[in-house]
Amino acid sequence: MTSISGKTRVAGVVGQPIAHSLSPVLHNAWLAEAGLDGVYVPFAVEADSFFRFVDSLRGGSVAGFNVTLPFKAEALAAADSATPRARMAHAANVLVFAADGTIAADNTDGLGVLGAFAVQAPGFDPKAGPVVILGAGGGAQGAAAAFVDAGCPQVRIVNRTEDKALDLADRLGPGARGFTLDQAAEAFADATAVINATSAGLNGGPGLDVPLSATPATCVVMDMVYKPLKTPFLMQAERLGRPTVDGLEMLIRQAIPSFEAFFGQAPPAGVDVRRLALLTLGLDA
Ligand code: NDP
């Protein structure tokens, strides 16, 4: 159990809704294991209050926070500086407050995706072929920027709203291309990975109706959604025999650099945060 003192360093996660977030479970387990005087709490912020909330924390009374749906674009806009990967993604999931009143933004979602692939699909090489990202929102943007950065020869953005797919592909540069959902089979044809970064399938909702059978047999299929852990999308991939990567591993991998940004050191080894998260989700660890 984390103890609270007069010097406790506070970090957290901001979103709406936020009660479902697993991030406090991960960060507080790491804090307890490391014996750090810190705490990580959820902040539920109303949609029209985000900028006011962020401004009120200038000066470092809070070390920083993660940002989740629907505030990732606003988080980037609220910051005074941003890492190249956050600028490229047009979205931030980390804000850090300095004592001089400035705010720095980062985007660790891309590191989360690449880290999850490294753990659950260790043979995967982002340089080996085209990668398809379904969706064009905050999560998709971070992942797309990371794959471009990692030398992926073509990042294909497939989105329900075509304009958003084309805009994101345009921003990513010549190594990216936009598609509509109707064109998914074309985008899948020679893909080395397909990643669901839409919110379809979240909380047991209907999954995306896309023809995963059009992917090559070795194509790795990932879903960013981790509630449920086995989404209809991942179940379809498993039925086809495709290797899969889950959204929980992404959540853990994006949390590692976030923890470093807030608490100044890497999370300690020796705490099985995946097991803790699975137990919190009510799943067998
Ligand atoms: P956004 O709201 O920014 O984007 C949502 C995207 O999903 C849009 O591209 C939207 O398309 C698309 N979409 C929503 N519903 C449907 C549907 N029924 N059919 C087709 N497309 C749909 O959300 P985020 O990018 O922030 O998050 C997306 C998902 O990824 C969420 O479930 C989130 O929990 C998860 N996520 C998980 C992370 C992790 O660490 N595991 C990290 C980040 C995100 P359109 O443009 O047409 O509206």
Note the pLDDT tens digit of each residue in 109-147.
999 999 999 999 999 999 999 999 999 998 999 999 999
CA of 137 to the centre of ligand 1 (A): 6
The yes-or-no answer on residue 72 being catalytic is yes
Mean pLDDT of the chain: 95
Confidence of residue 285 (pLDDT cuts 50, 70, 90): low
What gap in Å lies between CA 97 and CA 66, rounded to an integer? 12
CA of 134 to the centre of ligand 1 (A): 9
Which pLDDT belongs to residue 201? 74
User: Does the pLDDT value for residue 256 go beyond 80?
Assistant: yes
User: Does the pLDDT value for residue 204 go beyond 80?
Assistant: no
CA-closest residue to ligand 1 atom 40: 251
Residues 94, 90, 50, 197: what is their CA dihedral angle, to the nearest 10 degrees?
Answer: -80
Radius of gyration of the chain from its Cα atoms, rounded to whole angstroms? 19
User: Does the pLDDT value for residue 273 go beyond 90?
Assistant: yes
Run of H or E residues at 30: helix 23-34
Amino acid at 274: R
Q: Burial of 148 by CB count in 10 Å (0-12 exposed, 13-18 middle, 19+ buried)?
A: buried
Among 23, 69, 134, 198, which residue has the most ligand 1 atoms within 8 Å of its CB, making it the best to mutate? Answer: 198
Residue-wise pLDDT for 77-98, tens only, equals 999 999 999 998 899 999 999 9
Which pLDDT belongs to residue 280? 94
User: Does the pLDDT value for residue 1 go beyond 60?
Assistant: no
CA-closest residue to ligand 1 atom 9: 135
* Phi-psi map region of 90: left, alpha, beta (phi>0 left; psi -120 to 50 alpha): left
pTM of the entire structure? 0.95
Confidence of residue 76 (pLDDT cuts 50, 70, 90): very high
Q: Is 93 near ligand 1, meaning CB less than 6 Å away?
A: no
